[in-house]
Structure 1
């Protein structure tokens, strides 16, 4: 009897130790996330910040003892950096990778076919060769698209212009997402009998001369969202304000940096939406290959009041700018 009690006590002690080790292992769990960003500017930074804050919040809500560690790499626009940083991130065997903007996503997707990748600030993942279909990726990549409502943005620009001159468009012809938005602008203009005067650039050094080439010929300027245009918004804002031209941009952050207004998505919100997808993969064990690419579920009307006064000759009222959705000023 005594021997039996000793054996039972030993079994219970062993079980207690195993249970304690299991709890401790759970308490010490760290989720590792690799983050690759092509270049530093407002929109991409906002997407990353939104993602990190939301994912940390989601994980803490799931288990308050778990932590999230981010290995953040910024290529500063250098393709060689993207390749070396991609290799470094993959070698670390993270639980998931966030790729911010198309060059980052394309580079990291070539580096690993097994680690789940979510991308944000990419306009069309299928067109970028990242997924087989936006509704059913069938690759280790999915994420959120930053495709903007080009039709609403051009309509907004029309409300801000006074003359009957064409609407100007300046874009980066070497970025596929930018050419996609320009194609959409052309389609909208044709359907609504608008005239466009379009100039393209491939370098920030070309922007000043491109704007000079259409000086006095346009009533306002549309700037679609791409990395080059976003990084040059201070220059675009300075030139257009001097010419008293309203500027509608592809993103809110671009309007903040030098535009007049926009109707579009908030990149921090887009980052948060991407984080919710990440939580489904990490916490609910969803297969990224089966997760449809998502578009922004929030759109905002943003008006840069300071630039509005400098750029718009036509009287503007809130009724003029009411295109639906929430409003930020």
Structure 2
């Protein structure tokens, strides 16, 4: 009888140990839910999203193999009503963190929640967009990376490729806050360097081709800032610019790849990776967005679209960093 009792006790203890081990393993496994809201699909924003996911997955895999990241990606396709409903959906699902790509996405998310951590990228100025109190100490549930490039150097780069004294054409969407800010910077640079400008605003992708046709023969080159509408229209820009033999300098590398001649600026894939490192600190290190300074791109580089340069009669090897 005693032996039987001892045997039963031994089996019971072993079972309890197994349950304890099983619970420990289960508790070490964790899922993180990350929402992503993007205003519109185009090269720059897509690159930022891909860079973000690649880097966050890499950081998690290297340091916390038991953690799985679940992504909920929403793209508004440029529709404001879609943007608002998607922002509502992502915040109601109680994501651990939400990524807002571009200013409209970031603003839509910030209006829906004051508690869920939000990191943003491809936003030109977080403070003027009402997302943070200031860049050094955001003071809200939002932080992230700015995509403001060196506008003055980009315009300077364009002037090295122009072949006459005609004004510089500037094409942008006046309804985008980020674009309006950059146009102010272009005007300031032009004033300080005695440059004439021919500025044209478009409100839809359907307007781009006619706007470019109107600039042909009247300008020496075209500058396009980091602008979501224009980024979605870069193939049209490239075609029209080649026909008119006009150099085009863009606000981002991806825009130059899609239809520009050259740029000196940021790479959105790299910017997305930089943003992911901030997200990791929030998700894993439990940092708070309100205490994390807004960051600018760590790298700038010259990019030349050699095929487009040759097509308009510019030697790509002679295009140098401004």
Normalising to structure 1: TM-score of the pair? 0.91
2:310 and 2:316 in contact (8 A); partners too? no
User: Are 2:230 and 1:200 aligned?
Assistant: no
Q: Per-residue deviation at 1:19?
A: 4.8
> Aligned equivalents of 1:219 and 1:229: distance in 2?
19
1:1-329 to 2 correspondences below 5 Å: 14=16, 17-27=19-29, 29-313=30-314, 315=315, 317-318=317-318, 320-323=319-322
- On the 8 A contact 1:246/1:312 being kept in 2, the answer is no
Alpha-carbon offset, residue 207 of structure 1: 1.9
Counterpart Cα distance in 2 of 1:208 and 1:13: 74
- Where does the alignment leave 5 or more consecutive residues of structure 1 unmatched? 324-329
How far the C-alpha of 1:7 sits from its partner, in A, is 9.2
Structure 1 residues 316 and 162: alpha-carbon distance in aligned structure 2, compared to 1, 3 A threshold: farther
2-side partners of 1:71 and 1:260: how far apart? 35
Q: CA RMSD in A?
A: 2.2
For residues 254-291 of structure 1, give each alpha carbon's deviation from its aligned partner in whole angstroms, at most 9, with x where no partner exists. 11111100111110000000000000001110011111
Post-superposition offset of 1:316: 5.2
Cα distance in 1 between the residues matched to 2:310 and 2:199: 25
Q: CA deviation at 1:83?
A: 1.5
- Cα distance in 2, alignment partners of residues 36 and 208 from structure 1: 29
CA contact (8 A) 1:245 1:312 kept: no
Moved more, 211-220 or 239-248: 211-220
Partner of 1:327: none
Matched pairs, number: 319
By how many angstroms is 1:23 displaced? 2.8
Secondary structure class of the residue paired with 1:164: coil
What is the CA-CA distance between 1:216 and the residue it aligns to?
A: 1.2
- 1:144-199 CA-to-partner distances (Å, cap 9, x unmatched) read 11101101111111111111212111111111100111111111112222222211
- Bigger Cα displacement from structure 2, 9-18 vs 60-69: 9-18
Q: CA 1:237–1:252 in structure 2 vs 1: closer, same or farther (change >3 Å)?
A: same
Shift of the alpha carbon at 1:74? Answer: 0.7
- How many Å apart are 1:18 and its aligned residue? 3.4
Q: 1:8 to 1:140 in 2, by over 3 A?
A: farther
Q: Say whether the 8 Å CA contact 1:222–1:249 is kept in structure 2.
A: yes
Verify the 8 A CA contact 1:49 1:271 in the aligned structure 2: yes
8 Å Cα contact 2:264/2:321 also seen in 1: no
State the TM-score, normalized to the length of structure 2.
Answer: 0.93
Aligned in 2, Cα 1:95/1:240: closer, same or farther, shift over 3 Å? same
CA deviation after TM superposition for structure 1 residue 317, in Å: 3.6
Structure 2: 5+ residue runs without aligned partners? none
Residue pair 2:306, 2:316 contacting (<8 A) in 1 also? no
